[in-house]
Each structure stands twice: as C-alpha cells, then as structure tokens.
Amino acid sequence: MKYTGKLSFCILAFGMTNLYSPITTDWKEDYTEYDRQIARAENELYKEHFQQALSIYKGCFENYDFIHANDAYTACQLAAYLKNRADFEKLVYRTFKQGVNYRLVRRNKNTGPFLSGKDSANYLNLYASARKEYYSRLDLPLRKEWAERFNCEQESKGKKLVFMQIRDDNFARLKELIKQHRFPGERLIGIAYTLPGYKNESNRYNDMCINYSFVFPTLLHVQHAYSQLENTLKAEVKNGNISPYDLTIVYGAEQARMGTWYPAGIGVDTVKLPLRLNNFVFRVFCKDTARVNHDRRLMNMADYVDPNTWVEFTKKFHFDMYHY
C-alpha cells in the first residue's frame, strides 16, 4: 500500500486479527542441534569442502519438517554447483516449500540452468505445489498484518514523527503478540517479501531477500530492542521460529547504535559480558578472531568470515549468500 500520511490503517485496522483462531509458537521441537549442524555445514562450505557441506545439510534436514529458507536455498545451490540432479530436485522442492521465490532460484547461475529447458514446466508445477504447502502452515492474517506494518514503517522514513509513532506502535504490537506466544518469526509468518511498488536501496525487490521476516526492521529501529527482548529472542531461536543469525542482526544493531559492545540504558546492573560476534551488516567488529569464534559457537553460529573473503567466495562460485 502507499503511505497516505495517516495512521488509521497501520494502527487501527489490525483489530480484525482477533476474528480468527491464531496459531501459537508453542512448538515442542528444540532446534539447538539443527543450528549446530547448520554451523558445521557453513564452516565446511567456506573451506570449499562442498560435498561434506552438502552431506551435513542433507543429514540435518532429514530430522526436521520446518527448515530455514536460507539454509534450504544454500543447500540447493550446493547440489546444483555439484551437478547432483537427484539432490537438487529434493532440495529445490524444500527451498520452494520454505517460501523462496521461483525468480530468485531461476536467476542464480548454479540453479537457473536446472529450471530451464525441457524440465521447466515440471519445475513450475513443483513450485506451485510447494507454494501451497508453504502458505498452508503460516498464520496468514498475521502475515498480512506485518506485511502492511512493514511497508508503513518503511514508507514513513523521512517523516520523523510519523515514523516514530508507527515504529513504536509496531513494537507495542510485537510485545502484545509475545504475551500470546505468537512472535511473528519465519516459522509463523514466513519470510519477507514486498507488496507491489516497494523496493530496497539496491533497487531489488525484497521478495529476493530470504533471511528474515517482516518484523525485523522494527526490531532494528527500536533503540534497545535486543536488551528488552533478549530472553524472548533466544527462546524463538530454540524453537526454530528465528535463526541465530536473525538474533545477531538485532544484537549487532544495538551494539552499533551504542558504539560499544556493551548494552546500555536498560538494566545496567544486570548487563552480562557482551558477545563478540562480528556483524557484517552493521560494521561492528572485534579483532580477536579466537574470541569472536568462541562467542559465535556459543550461539551455534559458523566461524567468522571476513567481508573480503565472503565477497570473493560468492563471486567465484556464484552463490547467493547472506553474510552476518
């Protein structure tokens, strides 16, 4: 929707969300081991041990019905790079099933050739089938609500007072949902896409962005979001609703904003020793690589890869990767 300068839709229209039976995030699975295996796979990936990485991804995925879209797509690209059609066909279906857009997979230099030629119609049918499964597991009214909230917040940038009001309303709504066990993460409302007409800074449609859900811009815009929601965010990582990297984005934003590794302004007397995770997005770095990797492993994250190495890796092998 186009922002009209009024808050009526963004703030008032969501009362309709009480008219349906909501899905809660009280899942019983513990994704701790999942995250550890994904970290192992990514470590092998950046060492260019591609077959080992693919094997770890596949073994991990066998134990979970829900997997993160970013992980599915990375494994799918690996299978394509290795020219392993049997694995590609299984992994591309799981990639589509997690909400990844056909256009993203089609344009990639590794996966694209598999979707063209004589089998193109079959893959389009596969995508349509997987897309139905994707939407069937989501809380669609909540997804629609946060898609609208996302666009309202993005389009109000540059209008400071309006932006702050929309941001604060979104954050209040988020805390309300947390009390209802309905944190709108990837597992509950799916990955982010954009409504027609909104593009990001690089002029690429945001349905090409698969590494977080609609709620994260609000978390990045609220000054102490991590400090206020740390326990909730960690719980959502554990149940698979968000990934450790999603949590890192929020953590890194707060640290970058404060200009320090230490949370400030909230509960100063209870501040814990900060984690050195290194965050590519917000340019927050620690030079002690051993300490960084130690802390990343505590969060079940892969070892740190410096930005230059990451850029060269993606160019060399034509992988679509999302760096943290």
Per-residue model confidence as pLDDT tens digits over 198-235: 444 344 444 455 766 789 889 999 988 998 999 999 99
265: region left, alpha or beta (phi > 0 left; psi from -120 to 50 alpha): left
Q: Are residues 157 and 304 located together in one domain of the fold?
A: yes
- Per the structure, the count of domains in the chain is 2
Question: Which residues have a Cβ under 8 Å from the Cβ of 37 and sit 6 or more positions away?
Answer: 56, 57, 59, 60
CA distance 196 to 205: 9
Percent of the chain with pLDDT over 70: 82
Q: Residue 181: its pLDDT value, please?
A: 94
Q: Are residues 145 and 118 in the same domain?
A: no
69 and 191 Cβ atoms separated by less than 8 Å:
yes
Distance CA 169, CA 173 (A): 6
16 belongs to a structural domain: no
Distance CA 225, CA 47 (A): 35
C-alpha–C-alpha distance, residues 292 and 296, integer Å: 6
pLDDT tens figures, 31-45: 999 999 999 999 999
The residue out of 136, 164, 179 marking a domain boundary is: 136
- Both 151 and 132 in one domain: the answer is no
Number of other CB atoms surrounding residue 134 within 10 Å: 18
Q: Does 167 lie in the same domain as 225?
A: yes
How confident is the model at residue 193, as a pLDDT?
A: 65
Q: Is residue 8 part of a domain?
A: no
Return the amino acid letter for 12.
Answer: L
- Quickly list DSSP for 9-43: IIIIGGGGGGGS-PPP-------HHHHHHHHHHHH
Closest CA to 34 of 314, 300, 311: 300
In a domain, 307, yes or no: yes
Residue 52's SS3 state is: helix
- 203 and 249: one domain? yes
Is 88 domain-assigned? yes
Q: Are residues 191 and 300 in the same domain?
A: yes
Is residue 94 over pLDDT 80? yes
Out of 38-42, 102-106, 255-259, 311-315, which region has the weakest mean confidence (pLDDT)? 255-259
CA-based nearest residue to 174, from 138, 220, 207, 136: 220
Domain check: are 184 and 269 in the same one? yes
Q: Which of 109, 136, 163 is the last residue of a domain?
A: 136
Where does residue 314 rank: exposed (0-12), middle (13-18), buried (19+ CB within 10 A)?
A: middle
**Within-domain flag for 23:** no
User: 45 and 76 in one domain?
Assistant: yes
Boundary (domain end) residue, out of 94, 110, 136: 136
11 located within any domain: no
Region of poorest pLDDT, from 20-34, 186-200, 302-316: 186-200
Same domain for 252 and 169 = yes
Q: CA-CA distance, 293 to 280, in Å (whole number)?
A: 14
The token duo for 84 is 């392993």
pLDDT of the residue at 262: 45
Percent of the chain residues past pLDDT 90, beyond the cut: 59
Q: What's the whole-number average pLDDT of the chain? A: 84
Question: What is the pLDDT at residue 312?
Answer: 93
pLDDT at 195 over 60: no
Are residue 51 and residue 155 in the same domain, yes or no?
no
Beta bridge partners of 279: 284
Query: Any residues with CB less than 8 A from the CB of 83 and at least 6 apart, and which?
Result: none
Q: Are residues 84 and 200 in the same domain?
A: no
| Residue 69, SS3 per DSSP | helix
Residue closest to 295 by CA, chosen among 238, 251, 253: 251
**What pLDDT is stored for residue 286 in this prediction?**
82
Rg for the chain, CA atoms, rounded:
20
Read off the tokens for 191.
């990955």
Joined tokens for residue 116: 């063209």
Range with the lowest mean pLDDT among 71-80, 259-268, 293-302, 309-318?
A: 259-268
State the sign of the Cα–Cα–Cα–Cα dihedral 219, 225, 226, 232: negative
C-alpha–C-alpha distance, residues 164 and 183, integer Å: 21
Q: pTM, whole model, 2 decimals?
A: 0.87
Q: What pLDDT, on a 0 to 100 scale, did the predictor assign at position 21?
A: 61
Q: Which domain holds residue 76?
A: 32-136
